[in-house]
Amino acid sequence: MSSSPSHLSQRSLALAATICAVAMTFIDQTIVSIAAPTMQGELHLTTTDVQWAVNAYVLALATLFSFGGRLADTIGHRRMLVVGVLIFAVASALCGMTPAGPATEPWLITFRALQGAGGALLYPAALAIVASTYAHHERGRGLALFFGIAGGLTAIGPVLGGYLTQWTWRAIFWVNVPLALIALLLIAWARPQTLHRPAPMDYKGLALIAGGTGLSVFGLQQASLWGWSLGTWLCITAGVALLVWFARAEARSTSPLLNIGLFRDRTFLVQNLVLLVAMATFVPVTFFTSAYAEVALGMNASRAGRDLLYFFFGFVVTAQVGGRLLDRAGAKRPVVLGSALASGGYFLWADRLTTLDENAIVWCMVMAGAGMGLMLGQSNTDALNRVPQTSYGEATGATQTVRNYGASLGLAVLGTQFASALHSGLTSSLTALGLPHDAADREAAKIARLGPGTGGSGGASGIPHVVRLAFAAATQAVMYSMGTIMAVACAIALVGLRTGTQRELPAAARGDKAEAVGASPASASGPA
């Protein structure tokens, strides 16, 4: 049955509200890295302090996603969306007010972590609202808009950060406040209606998953600073052990934080594996693309950020195509084709990096982005379609935890590969130029530690050609790995997914409540 005009209006308002809300979290994943040098100089921070300002946000997100999803399902998606937006906006304003002096480091890190906590509360609720607002046969198209626009906003971070930093670095945080106000107004106007399921909170499960996720993601984050040392492996191992304990405890719990039974559904499990693998390239590609543009091509930070728009142009366009394919024929076709397209794009992109010619790689960037857009949102939506409406937040918490794991793993492993390739390439090049091997090795190690800060802001003429070429070769090695990773995602989807569409699961269960006053479960399930 087609939706009425009033339903279409409410649906559009709900979609706009959730996109405005999640826009803050996507932009903040990349915007801080652009302003980091200015912040470091003005606030007299160490490199470690700046790293923690970035890591605290990601760590809080990863640690609390499952909690946020469960909380949304038990006390209401709209309510948790409002709470999450308010927390994020207040934390953003306070980050922008960071004082200079002894309190600088703890202040910035604390409120960056609070931003991440707000994001972990609002994102599962936002996604659950979008999923509930669209009928099952239209959900692919609706979530394609959500993922396409929200994913494209990741590229806005570096561009926006470059411009705002020219005024004041504090503006990169303050920009979230008007976005939050717009989101809150749209939420109040749309009043999205969803079901929720009151239940006691599993605090033991919360402690286990927070500790397990936090320790393992922290270990992966620190791999770039500590190397693959004993401390790194202890953190990762302890985290994984706590997560195994969590899974065993949840299987026995009468009111689990995360229903482990969700993973007994073959498609839900396979799509989470696909997301884990694919995210190992999706987040790192934004870092390596900007770094290559700054160092190998000698662009300034703002222009390097704009280079990401080529990738996300392809992403946004094909996300809509993938959503329609999902609604019409199921998820297998867009996920398999998208993974294959992304893999080919990464390989072709890698092949042309050492030409140091931006024009030679533009269409490869668009191709890789198009592949990711075709598969990523559809994989997420298909996983969500496997659970009843009252578990949307819980399922989103699970998929987002998996996605963060994949991104953290990709950054750690690919970052280590990049540093090793850059060190080796520079040593060989400097030795060929006549420098003694030991001196070449020391100089290469020094430049490799600097990474993207080698001097991109000064233009290509300020960076020695040997450094630019070695940086390009190291990026090439990483891009070849990304192509291989997406080939693995393609194989998992090809073998593990079944063809055909998924039928809608029953929304209501005993104890379910409609969130909007006066709404019945039938009306709360969204337009038919």
Instruction: Tell me the per-residue pLDDT of 412-444, one tens digit each, with 9 for 90 and over.
Output: 889 888 888 888 888 888 888 787 888 878 777
Is 308 inside any structural domain?
A: no
* Overall pTM surpassing 0.75 (yes/no): yes
Is 514 inside any structural domain?
A: no
CA-nearest of 63, 97, 67 to 83 is: 67
| Domain total in the chain | 2
CA angle (393 as vertex; 209, 379 as ends), nearest 5 = 95
Is 385 inside any structural domain?
A: no
Q: pLDDT grade, residue 40 (50/70/90)?
A: confident
Of 236, 256, 276, which closes a domain? 256
The domain of 212 spans 202-256
Same domain, 196 and 152: yes
Percent over 90 (pLDDT), the chain: 31
CA distances from 164 to 47, 70, 501 (A): 22, 36, 45
The label of the residue with tokens 């050609």 reads: 465
pLDDT digits (tens, 9 = 90+) for 160-174: 777 787 788 898 899
496 token code pair: 């593990």
Q: Burial of 340 by CB count in 10 Å (0-12 exposed, 13-18 middle, 19+ buried)?
A: buried
Same domain, 212 and 191: no
Is 192 inside any structural domain?
A: yes
Q: What mean pLDDT is predicted for residues 175-204?
A: 84
Same domain, 165 and 217: no
Q: What is the DSSP letter of 332?
A: H
Q: Are 14 and 130 in contact (CB under 8 A)?
A: yes
Same domain, 103 and 159: yes
Of 213, 233, 256, which closes a domain? 256
Q: What is the DSSP letter of 195?
A: E
CA angle (415 as vertex; 352, 373 as ends), nearest 5 = 60
Is 211 inside any structural domain?
A: yes
Same domain, 89 and 194: yes
Q: What is the pLDDT of residue 455?
A: 41
Q: What mean pLDDT is predicted for residues 310-323?
A: 90
Same domain, 184 and 60: yes
CA-nearest of 291, 305, 304 to 452 is: 291
Of 256, 273, 290, which closes a domain? 256
Is 482 inside any structural domain?
A: no
Same domain, 13 and 115: yes
528 token code pair: 């038919």
Same domain, 42 and 188: yes
The span from the CA of 490 to the CA of 20, in Å, is 32
Asked whether the predicted pLDDT for residue 16 surpasses 60, the reply is: yes
Q: What mean pLDDT is predicted for residues 491-517?
A: 65
Q: Where are the alpha helices (DSSP H) in 227-264?
A: 230-252
CB atoms within 10 A of CB 351: 16
CB atoms within 10 A of CB 522: 10
pLDDT digits (tens, 9 = 90+) for 381-405: 999 888 887 778 888 888 888 888 8
Tell me the CATH number at 61: 1.20.1250.20
365 token code pair: 């960037």
Same domain, 113 and 162: yes
Asked whether the predicted pLDDT for residue 508 surpasses 60, the reply is: no
Is 84 inside any structural domain?
A: yes
Same domain, 224 and 75: no
Same domain, 174 and 245: no
Same domain, 73 and 160: yes
Is 44 inside any structural domain?
A: yes
Q: Are 285 and 311 in contact (CB under 8 A)?
A: yes
